[in-house]
Structure 1
């Protein structure tokens, strides 16, 4: 199948802007922004909002995301953030004194804070796996750290700084072999990198919407394995109870939670402005196909990496196709991020690396401008 052609016309990006920072925050599709504007205007006409309105859009978006990852709608909770998903997952996973929780060095703080809090509460130990020098094979190092004392592994699919792709299928197999749980953060991969959910079979899997899912801020998704769908949510919400659709009976205070991942939904999940944005974005991703997106973005990052190598700028090894983290052999030039932004070229610095993360809105002119600025 041919690569997806440039989709810049679907985004509101001026011709003079070269935006290579999807790992920070994606721009919205024009169609998604329009869906959000229409949803926001519903609040101007509240007499048109009825009981079904609190459920229909949430179920539609839940179903779209389930299709995207190869799950059932029953397996998906709607959450506001990765930290919310991590808190939910770790509240429902047993860890006892003396056991270990395995994490990666320099991972995004949401998972690290949650792991440390659980370890302190349970009198367990956090094991941090450093990034190997040389080939950067973090998957092998992570596998070595998982043993009989491991209760839980908290890992990304793609590391947010280095762009390293973790072999989550191999990690999952090792977890199962020692009886450890696996919580995945796929915020830097979901929508841009295929994942075989059945093969990985994580206990929980989290993704924020505002990066590679091309969605809004403050919306995310939590996959909950069927084996954990009897767990306890963070909140005592009304909408996650059985029979919540009948507003006349809400004062009956049902104690019975939804028998699915819906019990973990955040309060006020029926966001009339943001859910339509997330839904329109996921629908477009489904139309393009995640494997096709990954192939197209891999071609862009491969082209950039090849050109930058000629100028002494090296790509870190082991990267995911959609993600390029680079280092200057002579050290990062001073104020490089600000100077690029002044030239309308947008990237991010994280640690001692520069993240270059394109999407289908980037064209050849963007790449030429980026390479010219970095090589200068």
Structure 2
């Protein structure tokens, strides 16, 4: 079936290698590789065949470039505040290690937060005499952001949330929450994995002390490669590891055994070992360049354009989706009807090659620029079958 392309930003499916009969509405699970990213990976693998082709610049220049690109993407002005991490859990563990404890204090989390952004804080709380305070999603007129704001108090050690909830796409007012954290001198730490790259974000406006992102979803990079921002509160912190690359003078290979105590500035100390991974880093650079060329606002607009009619139609069928003001456009959760059959839905999705996710009570839908309105039409057919 030929896919229908609506007016607006030109559909970008030609930049990917998705099969024409697949309706991939699952970028929140894992992004497909851009052709340019795949090409870069192959090129670097071929270069790595012969190590004599590697130069000193191959270790350091791409690291500086990827830091600069990510800093620009989040509205930052200092690439030295960016660290390369292998996963969101690694970056969050770094933040947890360096967050001072407040005896009897609390760490504020969201209901249904991603496991990697729960376990590390549970451990931190248990080991330091603090407690977790989970803010549940409201059912009334109060917004989730308001509930978070009302929870923050002088005994709050940290607020650890996400700009966009990973399961249902709920949006949070990071600017207001960040301002409240500043007033109470609480750390404000964000897992940006399901937001950065697809939605507009400004690190200065958010007032976040740390922002950690896995790279294989909306940043469209490789698995096991992520990026993190660490603000001034982390400038003299402890890294999870002591690797040579993060030290002053690490670009002088002949004298590496003249051991150095001093780190390179700011977030450099938090780089994972072997962060100049020659293949992955070039893939991430290619991905970030493409995202910057598109712009996150264009991604939001396209996703809204191709999904709005669909959401209206399934709402009439009895399915529930949060109001547009409360959720992202690139990621949203559908609450099924009482008569909904997961078994029939999964059977239909397999038959029609529709890819979405089941997260908690939600059917999680996460489109991108390679999707069209036709993808939602086919998803709608499966929803209809599941309640018949």
TM-score, normalised to structure 2, is: 0.93
Specify which of 174, 179, 193 is matched with residue 168 of structure 1: 174
Match of 1:31 in 2: 36
Contact 2:102–2:155 under 8 Å retained in 1: no
Asked whether 1:356 is paired with 2:365, we answer yes
Cα 1:239–1:299 change in 2 (3 A) is: same
CA contact (8 A) 1:314 1:327 kept: yes
Q: Render the CA deviation track for 1:149-195: whole Å, top value 9, x for unaligned.
A: 10111101111112100111111111111111100011010011111
Gap runs ≥5 in structure 2: 1-6
2:48 pairs, out of 19, 22, 43, with: 43
Counterpart in the other structure of 1:345: 354
The total of aligned residue pairs comes to 375
* Unpaired stretches in structure 1, ≥5 consecutive residues: none
Alpha-carbon offset, residue 136 of structure 1: 6.8
Contact (CA 8 Å) 1:337, 1:349: kept in 2 or not?
no
User: Are the counterparts in 2 of residues 102 and 128 from structure 1 also a CA contact under 8 Å?
Assistant: yes
Secondary structure (helix, strand or coil) at the match of 2:228 reads strand
* Structure 2 match to 1:10: 15
1:204 equivalenced with 2:210 (yes/no)? yes
Aligned-pair CA distance for 1:316: 2.8
2:56 aligns to what SS in structure 1?
coil
Question: Is the 1:100–1:149 contact (alpha carbons within 8 Å) kept by the matching residues of 2?
Answer: yes
Q: Return the offset for 1:333.
A: 1.2
Shift in Å at residue 279 of structure 1? 0.8
Q: Partner of 2:332 in structure 1?
A: 324
C-alpha contact (below 8 Å) 1:76/1:221 kept by paired residues = yes
Alignment of 1:208-357 (within 5 A): 208-317=214-323, 318-335=326-343, 336-357=345-366
Q: Distance in 2 between matches of 1:67 and 1:170?
A: 22
Q: Give the aligned partner of residue 376 of structure 2.
A: 367
Distance 2:84 2:248 in 1: 17
Look up the SS of the partner of 2:246 in the other structure.
coil
Superposed CA offset, 1:32-74 (max 9, x none): 1111111122220111012221111111111111111111211
Over the aligned positions, Cα root-mean-square deviation in angstroms equals 1.4
1:74 matched to 2:83? The reply is: no
Q: Structure 1 residues 333, 135: closer, same or farther in 2, change over 3 A?
A: farther
Checking the alignment, whether the CA contact within 8 Å between 1:230 and 1:259 is kept in structure 2 is: no
Question: Structure 1: how far apart are the matches of 2:270 and 2:120?
Answer: 17
Give yes or no for the alignment of 1:128 onto 2:134.
yes
